[in-house]
Amino acid sequence: MAISVISLRDVRRYYIVGDFIVRALDGVSVDIGKGDFTAIMGPSGSGKSTMMNLIGCLDTPTSGKVFIDGEDTAGLEEDDLAFLRSRKIGFVFQQFNLLGRISALENVMTPLLYAGVGPRERRLRAKDALERVGLKDRMMHRPNELSGGQKQRVAIARAIVNNPSILLADEPTGALDTKTGEQIMELFSDLNKEGRTVVLVTHNVEIGMACQQQIRIRDGKVEA
Ligand SMILES: Nc1ncnc2c1ncn2[C@@H]1O[C@H](COP(=O)(O)OP(=O)(O)OP(=O)(O)O)[C@@H](O)[C@H]1O
Ligand SMILES: [Mg+2]
């Protein structure tokens, strides 16, 4: 097998709600290789978003290990974790999560600001990223002046602007109609062919089957 860029080892994530324990993930071990295109599938509440947040180091497991590029993320200092989250991993969400008061271009520039890139370079790189997702002619539009598919393209441009090797997307087509969803999937497929490791969550069987491999989860456990 190829080198794993993402590796979960017996990962559990429990939530305590009152005197009740929710086993959102209950002993999950998976390996995702460099350059893979993987779909995480499963019913609502099965633990898909929980798993994505752990892979993206937005959350830490109750027990078990999360390795990114062979590195145990539990052993990383806050600075290294921040670096990992901002440079190695790009995130795309179902509801786009764009800032409404600023243009598409400024939205895409935001991660570069946090990465300490200067203003000229920020603008150039954000323009490149928007061009890459086919939105060259919509750069000055604000999110409410864009269609759902266009908003998702802006979000994808923002996710790739730091040139991360891993792209994570939680239900990226969930808020889009079928045809727009297919176009967004084509974009993910192209980004994968350029060498990025892509992991996406989907409810949609056809979308899932279009990916190279599927991880099915149910009740916090890997089914297949
Ligand atoms: N912060 C939280 N506190 C308590 N329970 C939570 C929390 N977040 C998630 N859960 C529970 O963990 C389980 C898994 O949730 P998760 O969001 O990972 O599911 P999902 O597979 O992404 O579902 P969906 O397809 O609806 O997005 C659910 O039972 C949910 O209620
Ligand atoms: Mg979810």
* Contact 132 CB / ligand 1 (< 6 Å): no
Domain count, the chain: 1
* Ligand that lies nearest to the alpha carbon of residue 46, given by its number in the listed order: 1
Which residue, judged by its Cα, is nearest atom 12 of ligand 1? 24
* Contact 95 CB / ligand 1 (< 6 Å): no
C-alpha span between 50 and 155 (Å, rounded) = 20
pLDDT confidence of residue 1: 52
Mutate to test the pocket of ligand 1, among 8, 14, 21, 22 (most ligand atoms within 8 A of CB): 22
Among 133, 132, 108, smallest CA distance to 121 is for 108
Are the CB atoms for 94 and 144 separated by under 8 Å?
no
pLDDT confidence of residue 3: 75
Strand partners of residue 6: 32, 68
List the chain pLDDT tens, one digit each, 224 residues: 557 999 999 999 999 999 999 999 999 999 999 999 999 999 999 999 999 999 999 999 999 999 999 999 998 998 888 888 888 999 999 999 999 999 999 999 999 998 889 999 999 999 999 999 999 999 999 999 999 999 999 999 999 999 999 999 999 999 999 999 999 999 999 999 999 999 999 988 888 888 999 999 999 999 97
pLDDT confidence of residue 114: 84
pLDDT confidence of residue 207: 87
Range of the domain at 113: 4-222
* Contact 47 CB / ligand 1 (< 6 Å): yes
Q: How far is CA 197 from CA 106, 193, 202, in A?
A: 26, 9, 16
* Contact 24 CB / ligand 1 (< 6 Å): yes
Which residue, judged by its Cα, is nearest atom 27 of ligand 1? 44
pLDDT confidence of residue 116: 87
Amino acid (1-letter code) at residue 97: N
* Contact 50 CB / ligand 1 (< 6 Å): yes
User: Which CATH number does the domain housing residue 186 bear?
Assistant: 3.40.50.300
Whole-structure pTM value: 0.93
* Ligand that lies nearest to the alpha carbon of residue 58, given by its number in the listed order: 1
| C-alpha 94 – ligand 2 centre gap (Å) | 9
pLDDT confidence of residue 206: 86
Which residue, judged by its Cα, is nearest atom 4 of ligand 1? 15
